[in-house]
Structure 1
Amino acid sequence: MQYRRFGKTNLRLSVFSLGTMRYLADVENARQTIAKALALGINHLETARGYGKSEEFLGSAIKAGLLVSRSQLHVTTKIPPTADADSMRRYIDESLQRLNLDYLDCLGIHGLNTWEHLEWVQAKNGCMQAVQEAIADGRVRHVGFSTHGPLEVILAAINTDFFEFVNLHYYYFFQRNASAIQLAAQKDMGVFIISPADKGGRLYTPPQTLKDLCQPFSPLELNYRFLLSDNRITTLSVGPAKPDELIEPLRVSECDSELTPAEIAAFERLENHQKAALETDKCSQCYACLPCPENINIPEVLRLRNLAVAYDMTDYGKYRYGMFENAGHWFPGMKANRCIECGDCLPRCPEKLDIPALLEDAHERLNGKAGRRLWG
């Protein structure tokens, strides 16, 4: 296992962190999963107030005794932003009690996704007042934020200079947040990548087309290498439902060097195949089409269409597309069939795409059962 400095926190974290959203079957499964992670060299455990019984299960494992001392273990929990300090004070105390801890190594403001959330963070008597009190009395060592929000909100949150780390989405198949990675690095913030296997493309069950294009590597391995070869990134979330699901991801835990020629060739093959498959219908994700009067997240819909057409990533596309209209600010936007063909987006598209036609096609390909957040 390799370890990297988590920005200005100066913590040295394993390049894989144990995300604890999916080990919720029972407390014994949680203990076994945590023990396996620690035995494999993971030293950072990440949970959240909103992850069902995750904090409680982790607290039970801590109380029972872990394989490492507390000083060698780094624990992060996440708490949603609140409009007032009193709620945050209560939430911090409750999380510490459930976790059986005297202090948190890191507290993340969970889901700083909207401009309103940012206003709460910046308010004089808002949630950060309680966080600063907890830092002053030693119950919290470091503070950051996690986000599923638009790039503009992420950049503004980073620029508040309140935070020492950021948890965000960034993968080979979703590079929209590249400028947030760069800004965080400039400010010496730790960077934690959320769910690269699942949100990054459901790469643990890739379609055959994608597997063939990635040879001799697996799609999951290539995505991990894309991220680990970037030294601005500290750690990647791995979220097993059971201990054995840690084995495959951690095979690359020692591989954090620059991309090899073979890996670069695989990425070039992916890019060339996408261009050939999509031809003149490829959305390049410039976001110039927004805002949409019907609140359709056009770039994200067309990104999912890109992946379905080019790589047969239809199952992943259906999974993410089903979140629209069902996940609130965690995945905002209406489905593509809400398009009324008003034409507002057409003159703004530098590629002159027939956006209404592509939205209709995307809906036909990807519409399925409604989705929801795992812990929603």
Structure 2
Amino acid sequence: MHYRNFTKDNLKVSALGFGCMRFPILNNDSSKIDEEKAIEMIRYAVDNGVNYIDTAYPYHQGNSELLVGKALKDGYRKKVYLATKLPSWLINSYEDFDKYLDEQLEKLDTEYIDFYLLHTLNKKYWDNLKALNVSKFVDEAKRSGKIKYIGFSFHDNLDVFKEIIDYYDWDFCQIQLNYIDRNYQAGEEGLRYAYNKGISVVIMEPIKGGKLSNPSDEIKSIWELSEIKRTPSEWALRWVLNHKEVSLLLSGMGELEQVKENIKTVSDAKPGHLSKSEIQLIDRVTKIYQEKIKVGCTGCEYCLPCPEKVSIPNIFQIYNDSYVFGTEDNSRSRYKHYIEKGIDASKCVECGNCEAMCPQNIDIRSQLKEAHKKLWM
């Protein structure tokens, strides 16, 4: 394992963090964690150098924090930095801040949280938290010793990211980044922006929720051109860790073998370790994925809110995934939930409001029709 500096205090964190949202489960029920296997995985990771454990209030329907608390008994709590997240969408009053923090401390069976994040910030949640004086809460929580460092995880466009970064003296932040999503949400530009402000950056979705682990034969043939043979997952992790601006990446590991493989991968994945030819190989793979994209939607959400509640960016993501990753059955299953909620493309009345706001100049109305044909017809 190698370690990188984290926060302005230059804490040493493992390049691999353990994301606690994809534990092995029982009876196909995400709320029922296989505790024996999950605890074995966490402790194996810690015993082999991982010292950053990341969970959150809603993971495994509220049971991830409880499991992590159990896994960190027997002296393991002192060996790690523990991160969890405030459920931003549940905060309706100032009192809610302490209510949820205290509940999380109890569930985790700990006196303090090393790294506390405002979870899944977008403009809507951020504006609400600001109005409720979240900075005052953070300052008081730090003074009381309940949390040591403060950050946020992010899901919105680059402009909103920069606004949040500039608002407060953050210790760190967490963004989505992988070799396909270089310009998605905060993206590489956001990564550099935070780094240049002295804010440490944690990366989530380095393998895009596992999608980059199962490539097509076309992409497999490109990976085979490398003199050094690596798994698709390893290529994805190494691309992220090649960035000097990255402090660590999170991997939501579901079995012990994944833990072992990822620990081995990051052991020598230091900034700048990839050769020029290896970077060119990854760029070739990126280009193939991007050429399969049907709609050039970046998920900026300028098109929202739709007056008919059509979930435009999410529909385009599902639509693109069906082509890029060949996940037709999965995409149709996901889209079915949108139909059940009444937020699918068929609800579009072609008012055109979205197209007037789209910075990518996408013909949204016609593309929604094509997406509906693909995903439902």
TM over 0.5: yes
- Is residue 2:262 matched to residue 1:249? yes
**Cα distance in 2 between the residues matched to 1:15 and 1:319:** 35
Residues 94-133 of structure 1: matches in 2 within 5 Å?
Answer: 94-115=103-124, 117-123=125-131, 126-133=133-140
Residue in 1 aligned with 2:17?
17
Alpha carbons of structure 1 residues 353 and 148: separation in structure 2 relative to 1, 3 Å: closer
TM-score, normalization: structure 2? 0.80
TM-score, normalization: structure 1? 0.80
- Which has the larger strand fraction? 2
Residue in 2 aligned with 1:64?
74
CA contact 1:207–1:313 (8 Å) conserved in 2: no
**Cα distance in 1 between the residues matched to 2:255 and 2:286:** 34
Structure 2 gaps of 5+ residues are 24-31
**Cα distance in 2 between the residues matched to 1:236 and 1:208:** 27
CA contact 1:228–1:255 (8 Å) conserved in 2: yes
175-184 vs 14-23, which moves further = 175-184
Secondary structure of the 2:117 match is strand
Alpha carbons of structure 1 residues 121 and 289: separation in structure 2 relative to 1, 3 Å: closer
Residue in 2 aligned with 1:260?
275
**Cα distance in 2 between the residues matched to 1:84 and 1:349:** 34
Residue in 1 aligned with 2:95?
86
140-149 vs 76-85, which moves further = 76-85
1:308-364 Cα distance to aligned partner (Å, 9 max, x none):
43553546755775675899xxxxx94333333444556777887654333333333
**Cα distance in 1 between the residues matched to 2:279 and 2:323:** 22
CA contact 1:9–1:142 (8 Å) conserved in 2: no
Secondary structure of the 1:94 match is helix
1:54-84 Cα distance to aligned partner (Å, 9 max, x none):
2222212222332xx71x4111111223243
Alpha carbons of structure 1 residues 324 and 14: separation in structure 2 relative to 1, 3 Å: farther
CA contact 2:177–2:205 (8 Å) conserved in 1: no
Q: Which runs of 4+ in 1 moved over 6 A?
A: 347-352
**Cα distance in 1 between the residues matched to 2:40 and 2:299:** 44
Report the alpha carbon displacement of residue 160 of structure 1 after superposing the two structures with TM: 0.9
AA at the equivalent of 1:98: K
**Cα distance in 2 between the residues matched to 1:318 and 1:251:** 36
Report the alpha carbon displacement of residue 6 of structure 1 after superposing the two structures with TM: 1.9
**Cα distance in 2 between the residues matched to 1:355 and 1:15:** 40
> Could you tell me which of 172, 182, 202 is aligned with 1:165?
172
Structure 1 gaps of 5+ residues are 328-332, 369-376
352-361 vs 244-253, which moves further = 352-361
- Is residue 2:247 matched to residue 1:234? yes
Residue in 2 aligned with 1:30?
38
AA at the equivalent of 1:41: G
Aligned length: 355
CA contact 1:9–1:190 (8 Å) conserved in 2: no
298-307 vs 134-143, which moves further = 298-307
> Could you tell me which of 147, 153, 162 is aligned with 1:146?
153
Q: Percent identity?
A: 28
**Cα distance in 2 between the residues matched to 1:79 and 1:326:** 29
1:73-109 Cα distance to aligned partner (Å, 9 max, x none):
1111112232433222232222222222222111111
CA contact 1:210–1:219 (8 Å) conserved in 2: no
Residues 291-330 of structure 1: matches in 2 within 5 Å?
Answer: 291=304, 294=308, 296=310, 298=312, 301-302=315-316, 304-310=318-324, 312=326, 314=328, 317=331
Residue in 1 aligned with 2:52?
44
Residue in 2 aligned with 1:373?
none
- Is residue 2:252 matched to residue 1:205? no
**Cα distance in 2 between the residues matched to 1:365 and 1:10:** 50
